[in-house]
Structures are given as structure tokens and as C-alpha cells.
Copies of this chain bind each other. A is one copy, B any other.
Amino acid sequence: MFAEKIRQLRENKHLLQRQVSAALDMDNALYCKIERGDRIAKREHVIKLAELLDGNEEELLKYWLADKVYDLVQSEENVNDVLNIVSENIVEYKKNKLL
């Protein structure tokens, strides 16, 4: 998801992985893994990527987070049940947060 998006963006700009990873001050092996989805980027990298590749930061962050969420729940049988519990209880969660 996130991986595909940044690859698209990079290719649209005709940039090499090497160039992007240099701009992010990151080993290109690591960038490669991120772009292939076998490593998850850090939040700060997502933000830099959005800027660098002229992507929509908010959107990229959402896909990046979605990947992390999936990562967390993938082992569960009924992923949707879990997502629904979260969704239905957001307000409640926020309340408890204040304590």
C-alpha cells in the first residue's frame, strides 16, 4: 500500500532510489526495503518523502499507518471485528486518555 505509493511517486519524478535515500540521509538498502514493504518507514521519513516526491503528506501518513495497523492485526481471525471495536469506541478511548 504505502510502499506502492512511494514507488509510484518516485518513478513519476524519474528519481533513482539512490537519490531519494540520499536526500533522506538513509542507506539505500533500507530505502529499498521500505519501498518493497519489508520494512516500515519512520514517521519522519514519511513526511520527508511526501515533500521530496510531491506527495500528499496527510494521505501518505494514512497509508503508512494503515500498513502498521494491518501488521498488528494480521494474525487475528476477524480483523474487521477488531477494527469495529476500535471504531465504535474512539470517543470512549479518548475519554479514558485524559486520566
| A interface residues with partner B (beta carbon < 8 Å) | 1, 37, 58, 61-63, 65-66, 68-70, 72-74, 76-83, 85-87, 89-90, 92-93, 96-97
When the two chains form their complex, are residues B97 and A82 in contact, meaning their CB atoms are under 8 A apart? no
Secondary structure type dominating chain A contacts? helix
Contact among B37, B69, B77, B78 with A69 in the assembled complex (CB-CB below 8 Å): B69
Number of copies: 2
Query: A96 contacts which chain B residues (CB < 8 A)?
Result: 37
When the two chains form their complex, are residues B69 and A72 in contact, meaning their CB atoms are under 8 A apart? yes
Q: A37-B96, A70-B93, A89-B1 are in contact. Are A76 and B65 (CB under 8 A)?
A: yes
Instruction: Report the minimum CB–CB distance from A66 to chain B (whole Å).
Output: 4
When the two chains form their complex, are residues A80 and B87 in contact, meaning their CB atoms are under 8 A apart? yes
